[in-house]
Amino acid sequence: MRYETLHNLRIPKIGFGTWTIGGETIANPAQDARSLIALRSALALGYTHFDTAEYYAAGHSEELLGQAIRATGLAREALFITSKVSPEHLGYEDVLHSCGNSLRRLGMDYIDLYLIHWPERGINLPEAFRALNKLVTDGKVGHLGVSNFNLKLFQQSVALSETPLLTNQVSYSLPDRTCVQNGVLDYCQENDILLTAYSPVKPRFIRGNKTLQALAKSRGATPQQIALAWLVRQPRVITIPMSFDPQHQAENLAAADLDLTEAELVQFA
């Protein structure tokens, strides 16, 4: 596994996303067994960074993640847990309350990385960061970040955070390079901030891209692994793919160690 190291942290290039664990926008207990199997498999394979949110399955994703982690007996310090506060909860007291609820659902004393999930029109960033900074001071959150922020809001967030902002989590993949075009990726790389790529694998694109298919075949890898390797080959870029399938989980994790040459990379420039 490759890592990004900054601010005394060593974060895996590839983590595990939990969108659809336990449901989508509402909890779906009928998915619990399948969700727990997926989480236990990921933990057994060696994933250590798990990304969740209060929005995922209305908090049930956090509950299941905490349950799966406790069952392993792993030391809390061996894991890096990210969660997110929803935009309707960005008032000062609301942020504190949301974080408290996430900690209770996870069954943890602290969250390693806490993000604003996405911005809404009229967002009061100073008020939100007043609460977020307090959470860090109080030891309930280790590091702060944002998600789905454009460059202007991102820069404002960096200025408002009393500790170095750790990441901007955005959609980034071979066919979706919005963060390149809008300057967010450059800003991250120039300022020692992680860009966390969500939705890193686009199945329709992968099925239809002959270059990707041919390269995967020549390297004895899957096209999904090539797509992930292309992402994590870049400095200060990490990603959080998700799969319920243990084989796909293992393949995703192994993609971090797949070296793509400059000649291979230029095919996707």
- To which residue do tokens 């020549």 refer? 218
Residue 156: how many CA atoms within 13 Å on its side-chain side?
A: 13
Q: What is the CA radius of gyration of the chain?
A: 18
In the chain, what is the straight-line distance between the N-terminal and C-terminal CA atoms, in Å? 25
Name beta bridge partners: 11.
4
Give the amino acid at 20: T
d(CA 168, CA 144): 10
CB 232 within 8 A of CB 13: yes
Residues 6+ apart with CB under 8 A from 78: 48
233 in Cβ contact with 227 (< 8 Å): no
Retrieve residue 113's tokens.
Answer: 């990385």
The one-letter amino acid code at 73 reads: G
- Which run of H or E residues covers position 96? helix 92-106
Query: Does residue 146 contact residue 153 with C-beta atoms inside 8 Å?
Result: yes
Tell me, yes or no, if 56 is annotated catalytic: yes
Determine the residue type at 268: F
Residue tagged active-site, from 47, 55, 56, 172: 56
> Annotated catalytic sites, by residue?
56
